[in-house]
A and B are shown apart, each in its own frame.
Chain A
Amino acid sequence: DAMVIQNPRYQVTQFGKPVTLSCSQTLNHNVMYWYQQKSSQAPKLLFHYYDKDFNNEADTPDNFQSRRPNTSFCFLDIRSPGLGDAAMYLCATSSFQDKNEQFFGPGTRLTVL
């Protein structure tokens, strides 16, 4: 089945130690998103790509970076994780041709020690 895959599902890192989360999709969608979701809060959009065009949200900290080397893959890099960055990170995709429904991956739960 076509889907959005996130690895790893659980990630533990130390305060200040860089970490990379990955997302891949088999849907061939041109838009990919990264959200941060903390407990009992709405998913918060960090940034999105339309093809290779990167769109950063104004309030996304510089600590968060992203790369999209090709259509299928997108990475979230957290350069110096703080305790406040512990959260669920969701990857999603959408396609202009598909009436813009978003498809979500299962998420990566990040713990910062």
Chain B
Amino acid sequence: AQSVSQHNHHVILSEAASLELGCNYSYGGTVNLFWYVQYPGQHLQLLLKYFSGDPLVKGIKGFEAEFIKSKFSFNLRKPSVQWSDTAEYFCAVRDSGTYKYIFGTGTRLKVLA
């Protein structure tokens, strides 16, 4: 069965620190990859997505992610975090042949001002 692993459950950073959140998935076929963010009290919103092409994907608010097929990874990065990035981040994978999405358990990021 497909699964998605997010290794860091809680991350605390100071403002201006760099961020990298890990995401690994287990599925051998063609996948679509997503990162969603959930700010406190708000609904899940798409940060970025990868379908094909350039494995380095840029999203909103200065986030980017790199798809490394050989490592089954899709790590999220941001060079300099802000206090407003405090949120929960979810990685998700979709088998391109279905409409089903599998989510990771999420990483709760807290940025200290």
Residues of A within 8 A of B (CB): 4, 31, 33, 35, 40-45, 48, 50, 55, 90, 92, 94, 99-107
18 interchain pairs (CB within 8 A)?
A: A31-B99, A35-B103, A40-B106, A41-B105, A41-B106, A42-B4, A42-B90, A45-B100, A45-B102, A48-B100, A55-B100, A100-B94, A100-B99, A102-B34, A102-B101, A103-B46, A104-B44, A107-B43
Q: How many residues of B contact A (CB 8 A)?
A: 23
Q: Which residue of chain B lies nearest to A102 when distances are taken between CB atoms in the complex?
A: B101
> 7 nearest interchain CB pairs?
A42-B103, A104-B44, A106-B43, A42-B105, A104-B43, A43-B103, A31-B99
> Main secondary structure on chain A at its contact with chain B?
strand
Within 8 A of A (CB), among B81-111: 90, 92, 94, 99-106
Inter-chain CA distance A88–B36, complex, in Å, is 17
Closest residue of chain B to A105 (Cβ to Cβ) is: B43
Within 47-101 of B, Cβ neighbours of A (below 8 Å) are at 49, 51, 90, 92, 94, 99-101
